[in-house]
Amino acid sequence: MLKAVILIGGPQKGTRFRPLSFEVPKPLFPVAGVPMIQHHIEACAQVPGMQEILLIGFYQPDEPLTRFLEAAQQEFNLPVRYLQEFAPLGTGGGLYHFRDQILAGGPEAFFVLNADVCSDFPLNAMLAAHRQQPHPFLLLGTTANRTQSLSYGCIVENPQTHEVLHYVEKPSTFVSDIINCGVYLFSPEALKPLRDVFQRHQQDGQLCLPLGEDSSGLWRGAGTIRLEQDVFSALAGRGQIYVHLNDGIWSQIKSAGSALYASRLYLGQYQLTHPERLAKHTPGGPRIRGNVYIHPTAKVAPTAVLGPNVSIGEGVTVGEGVRLRESIVLHGATLQEHTCVLHSIVGWGSTVGRWARVEGTPNDPNPNDPRAHMDSESLFKDGKLLPAITILGCRVRIPAEVLILNSIVLPHKELSRSFTNQIIL
């Protein structure tokens, strides 16, 4: 028997995802046509013996999340439940707080997946490695170049046994080109070191609130556990943590630009996993170039040209002569005749007028470096907005014959002219 835990964070996380996270929790943002964490759930559901999938976070269980959970249970015929933290507890605190729920039924092991990663999720391969050589912690790792490795948790392994000898989260100098993917397989014994961290925090009070504040803060401070710093770094080299290297697709999803890149990776993966989700060029239909997802309810004119890397959501209208490339168009948006949308995300219910052009600048990994990953973008430098993908928030109206270039438009704005390199408030 197996279980899976998906760590979805909460509303004070994912601030780099704004304005898109204003309308929907970041884990439910559509990537390649389906909510971000549906890719995780699909991978977990394909593991033989999977009995339950738990989502842990501190989002309020609102209607979109509840509706998603109900749909996921029905589609995958598995219990999918949400466990709400009383406060942000870090990457390990929720696991310890809900340990009884995780261990109920006596699972052999349980997967732990961060919601904000894009991967082919080689869970069956990880399970096979764990069963061949059981240990409390198995981490999924991949390689990065020397510069980018400093932005991730770095793993020094024994190349023969794959034991993790040293672990440093976001080091200041180069440690290793093997990085932590945020996907794990834990045995039940893995919760014992989390208990030790919790008890140590209770005793030393280092993370407690100042005296005189609400006493509930004492438990909250003690309950905050960071897997990477509190557990992995402390236990490395003690024969408890091992790494499984993966050469498949992987990327973090920290920002809108990285969501667009993740959409490209997943659309490419659909060739193997879900070919039925990819649009085909048919007589009388739009012209399809590369990998394109079109929701069945979308209306796309036959003279439109779509792709590569395009995802069109539910109820979208795409007019005659529209050109779409490297973009995500969300639920209910309208692209009027002869618009051009490149390297952009068009928000829910937004309208782009005739002959308008919405264009961003991609920040893709270096194609000449096979170990390069998506950079963690900063929106500003020296007080100026850096070129990046263009984002239209929900229910934005772009008039005819204007240019929106490298800009972010906040929700409910009705523009009257062109903008370049600006945040439109």
Question: What are the structure tokens assigned to 254, written together?
Answer: 């920290």
Q: Tell me if the domain spanning 278-420 has CATH number 3.90.1150.10.
A: no
**How much is the pLDDT for 224?**
87
- What is the rounded CA–CA span in Å between residue 95 and residue 226? 10
**How much is the pLDDT for 205?**
67
Domain locations in the chain? 2-203+225-252, 278-420
Long-range contacts formed by 307-312: CB under 8 A, 24+ apart:
308/264, 309/260, 309/263, 309/264, 309/267, 311/30, 311/31, 311/32, 311/33, 311/263, 311/267
How many helices (H) and strands (E) are present in the chain, helices listed first? Answer: 10, 32
The predicted model scores a pTM of 0.92
CA atoms within 13 A on the CB side of 5: 29
Q: Which residues contact 165 (CB under 8 A, 6 or more apart)?
A: 156, 157, 158, 236, 237
- Residue 149's CB: how many other CB atoms inside 10 A? 23
Q: Tell me if the domain spanning 2-203+225-252 has CATH number 3.40.50.300.
A: no
Instruction: Walk along the chain (425 residues) in steps of 10 and give the mean pLDDT of each run.
Output: 95 70 89 97 97 95 92 95 92 94 96 96 96 95 92 94 95 95 96 92 62 41 84 94 94 90 96 95 92 97 96 97 97 98 96 97 78 67 75 95 95 93 87
Question: What are the structure tokens assigned to 344, written together?
Answer: 């952009």
